[in-house]
Structure 1
């Protein structure tokens, strides 16, 4: 995982550069039959025209099977940058729910987690295969973005669940003195971090956001499971 934060003026903010944490396979003995929420991200042909709302009781999103024609504008290390993929906005609220399940109309989906913290596992399921790159981004304000982790998921011969929990944590391991506003915790649940940013300076960080850059290259089904900690 790589995480980085820009220093803005004289404010004390997180700076995480070059932190590498590989996405790991699930530990032996992980109970994938235990209580969990399941999110299905289904890849469709570029001419798919479903509405993407209310499918499967809030468990399903529809995205392009190939996102080559889609991109997102971010501010990466202070530079306006175009990156490939569609955007999945992720918030935390009263319950799990797919708020917007259609990426075809505007290149964006939206998903809400229930309260709490979660272990997160991810797998590509459907044939013929392909792969998907996912990057987790914090958008602190209109020109202040940083990534907190990335994974690549692909179809394998065995049913492989990868541990993607790091996508939901901001790490201050390399700069622990820079996160006094978060009590110097090494790994902070991303939604706790967003709340702390807003509390720290609501003028500078009025509405910090978290989203995924979802860059799909042939994956027809990516499943994500959330197990409460």
Structure 2
């Protein structure tokens, strides 16, 4: 009887300890996902790179001694690259120009974050995780920060959190970057308190990833719906 009880208890512990996704050898969850490759190039792309089912965005490369910043604007909807060229005018998935320069990536507001200001009513939303790893020639790095325009001041506000990835030697593994890439964590009272704002919420507009590239050839992002 005691042995039977112990076995049942062990099964219950294992059931609650098992995560929704199992880990793979590269550190990422094992399951269906949307894949996005952000590619750093030395020579600016001249093609529009809009209106297709691409999963790539081209940005400035920079080098390890001098970062070059590109902007990837974010619009709400299902995961999709609207404009894969960060060197020319930015177009959303409906073909409307939204900025004079930048790439555009469409994604849902994320309900899987500890936000103080959550996804606004009527916003396209989903629960998901974002994982990232640096690939390409060793030695490059990138810092990605989520930013938006404050509706009160009209100034650009960037999150105090960011993603900093370095392409080292050997096998590269994925890191969970969900909070950093799907919310802004900032203070709006001079540093007394901080709030986390979900994408496309709180009245903020013109959300974008500030992509400061120091020679990273490839950043791979994976989006896993929960």
Q: Deviations over 1:106-157 (max 9, x none)?
A: 5411000144132111111111430011111121237233222211111122
> Counterparts of 1:53 and 1:67 in 2: how far apart (Å)?
27
Give TM-score scaled by structure 1 length. Answer: 0.62
Give the aligned partner of residue 165 of structure 2: 153
* Aligned mate of 1:97, from 77, 80, 84: 80
Determine the structure 2 residue equivalent to 1:88: 72
Shift in Å at residue 169 of structure 1?
A: 2.8
Contact 1:101-1:110 at 8 Å conserved across structures: yes
- How far off its partner does 1:178 sit? 7.8
Structure 1 unaligned residues grouped into runs of 5+: 1-26, 72-83, 180-185, 199-204
Query: What is the match of residue 77 of structure 1?
Result: none
Q: Of the candidates 143, 149, 166, which is equivalent to residue 154 of structure 2?
A: 143
Root-mean-square deviation over aligned CA pairs: 3.4
What is the CA deviation profile of residues 43-93 of structure 1, one whole-angstrom value per residue up to 9, with x for unaligned ones? 1122443432356x231111111189x99xxxxxxxxxxxx6111111221
Counterpart in the other structure of 1:60: 56
* Alignment partner, residue 109 of structure 1: 103
Any idea what SS the aligned residue of 2:30 has? Answer: coil
Question: How far off is 1:171 after superposition?
Answer: 4.7
Q: For the structure 1 residues 131 and 46, does the alpha-carbon distance in structure 2 shift closer, same or farther, using more than 3 Å as the test?
A: same
- The list of structure 1 runs, each at least 4 consecutive aligned residues, that deviate by more than 6 angstroms after superposition, is 172-175
CA distance in 2, matches of 1:213, 1:188: 17
State which structure, 1 or 2, has the greater radius of gyration over its C-alpha atoms: 2
2:133 corresponding residue in structure 1: 123
Larger RCO (alpha carbons 8 Å, 6+ apart) = 1
2:225 corresponding residue in structure 1: 228
Cα distance in 2 for partners of 1:85, 1:139 equals 18
Give the count of matched residue pairs.
Answer: 169
Distance 1:116 1:48, change over 3 A: same
Q: Distance in 2 between matches of 1:58 and 1:209?
A: 22
Whether the aligned pair in 1 keeps the contact of 2:35 and 2:221 (CA below 8 Å) is yes
